[in-house]
Amino acid sequence: MPLATDSDAAFDAKAFPALASLNPFGVSLEAIGAATATNADAALAAALGGDLPAITGQALKLLRVNAGETAAEFIDPATVVLAEVPELSQVQVENPASTVFGQVSGERLAQAFDANEQQIGVGQIPQEVLGSRSNNTSYQNTEARPISVSVSQQNSAGTNAIDLLWSADGVTFFETMRSMSNSGGRGCVFGIIPAGSYYKIVATITIISWVELR
């Protein structure tokens, strides 16, 4: 910017030399860019310890060192096959303590599904079965998995009890839960019945609800 005392000629005499001094800086930047572009491939090739393959026609491919570690090569990501991952032995796959990651065999997968199917609540729903159940009568869990039993009675007078009994053989029963209720109260019992086991309810008054998860 010219000073108030500068004439046009005086300003030009100061400005043009200053502008001219900036030109070498621009030339230097261009030279640095050109040198970088020229030497980039050579630098990468030197880092890999060999020549780089031509990049023409290799769009979106991966660059890697070949198996012999003698040169670089391009590969299609779609051809990076899992087969190149070392196979696991049957022992490694089947051993639950193994920390090696791999495919689970069909046998072990089937075992996992079978174990899940044995879990109570998997694929089961609560069902009201009062209409097909009677007080002090033995029933067997014929399901392939445990079931749950929940029974209640409504007390109208005095003190009454409701018991859930369990048996492995249908002969000897053990009390698993007892509920006492006073007049106006409700007694409830709940228990898990293993597959094949027997159970029965002993109530001193009328049962009002009998729900089984099966």
CA distance 214 to 209: 16
- Going across the sheet that includes 126-128, the strands are 126-128, 207-213, 147-154, 186-193
pLDDT band at 105 (very low <50, low <70, confident <90, very high): low
Using one digit for the tens of pLDDT, what is the confidence trace for 131-182?
Answer: 999 999 999 999 988 999 999 999 888 899 999 999 999 999 999 999 998 8
Amino acid making up residue 74: F
User: What six digits make up the tokens of 122?
Assistant: 């998997």
Structure-model confidence comparison of residues 110 and 56, the more confident one:
56
Residue 79 per-residue DSSP state: G
Give the CA radius of gyration of the chain: 43
Look at strands 126-128 and 207-213 and give their pairing.
antiparallel
Using one digit for the tens of pLDDT, what is the confidence trace for 185-195?
Answer: 899 999 999 99
Q: Under DSSP, is residue 196 helix (H, G, I), strand (E, B) or coil?
A: coil
The pLDDT of residue 15 is 65
What's this model's pTM, rounded to 2 decimal places? 0.48
Using one digit for the tens of pLDDT, what is the confidence trace for 45-102?
Answer: 666 566 677 778 888 888 887 888 777 888 887 776 654 555 555 544 555 555 555 5
